Amino acid sequence: MENTKDIFTRLRAGETIRSGDPEAYKMRDASYATKVLLLEMNNASDPTEIRRLMSQITGTEIDESVAIFTPLYINYGKHTKIGKNVFINFDCVFLDLGGITIEDNVLLAPKVSLLSEGHPILPAERQSLVPGHIHIKKGAWIGANATILPGVTIGENAVVAAGAVVSKDVPDNTIVGGVPAKTIKSI
């Protein structure tokens, strides 16, 4: 039986998209449409204009308390949800086909990568796309050049040290660091 759900709905539901999926072209088309808005946003200097364009990219209203230092890179945008009083520093990357939720009072340092999608290990299946929702809870701080991998939840008030690669959930009020990230201490 052929899947009748839209590819973006299937991605948000965590379904692996096989390389020959008849709707796969929609992901690239959507990314190219997002790129047009990104070029405009990344060349804007007015914070209000940046938020307006980010609202268009995400399809949601970005609160006036949110600060985004461009450039910012997003491959889709419609699966990104951003809370209030969020700070996104320069050169962050959001691959959001699997979904990214950033709650209130989150700080993202420069060059943070939120990668909600990946590929299977087996070479014969590697062209498939495996989504995994990323959830960053209230008050978390993600350090410079940290990478959050698909399916990871960062707990409330947690800190991810600079350069960490996070492949597992981080509990509330915990500091993690390293490659792969491990618990350093509780706050």
Instruction: Classify residue 62: in a domain, yes or no.
Output: yes
Q: What confidence score (pLDDT) does residue 19 get?
A: 87
Residue 158's identity, in one-letter code, is A
Per-residue pLDDT, 1 = 38
pLDDT over 50 (residue 132): yes
Give me the mean pLDDT over the 128-133 stretch. 97
What is the 3-class SS of 13-47, one letter each residue?
CCCCECCCCCCCHHHHHHHHHHHHHHHHHHCCCCH
Distance CA 184, CA 160 (A): 10
For residue 51, being part of any structural domain is answered with: yes
Phi, psi of 23 (to 5 degrees): -100, 5
Contact 160, 125 (CB under 8 A): no
Give the C-alpha separation, 104 to 166, whole Å: 20
State mean pLDDT over 2-18.
Answer: 88
Q: Per the structure block, which two tokens stand in for 129? A: 């796309």
- List CB contacts of 186: < 8 A, sequence separation 6 or more: 173, 174, 175
Q: Which domain holds residue 142?
A: 7-186
SS3 content of the chain, % helix, strand, coil (to 5): 20, 25, 50
> Quick check: is 2 in a domain?
no
Query: pLDDT of 77-130, one tens digit each?
Result: 999 999 999 999 999 999 999 999 999 999 999 999 999 999 999 999 999 999
What whole-number distance in Å separates Cα of residue 186 and Cα of residue 175? 6
Helix or strand holding residue 57 (H, E): helix 47-58
What tokens were used for 136?
Answer: 């960053």
Task: Render pLDDT for 137-171 as a digit per residue (tens, 0 to 9).
Answer: 999 999 999 999 999 999 999 999 999 999 999 99
Number of domains the chain is built from: 1
Is 1 within the bounds of a domain? Answer: no
Check if the beta carbon of residue 108 is closer than 8 Å to that of residue 147.
no
Known catalytic residue at 119: yes
Q: Model confidence over 21-73: pLDDT tens digits?
A: 999 999 999 999 999 999 999 999 999 999 999 999 999 999 999 999 999 99
Residue 5 binned pLDDT confidence (cut-offs 50, 70, 90): confident
CATH number of the domain enclosing 69: 2.160.10.10
Residue with tokens 């410079």: 144
Judge whether residue 2 has pLDDT over 60: no
Q: Is the pLDDT of residue 3 over 70?
A: no
* Residue 84 within any structural domain of the chain: yes
In a domain, 81, yes or no: yes
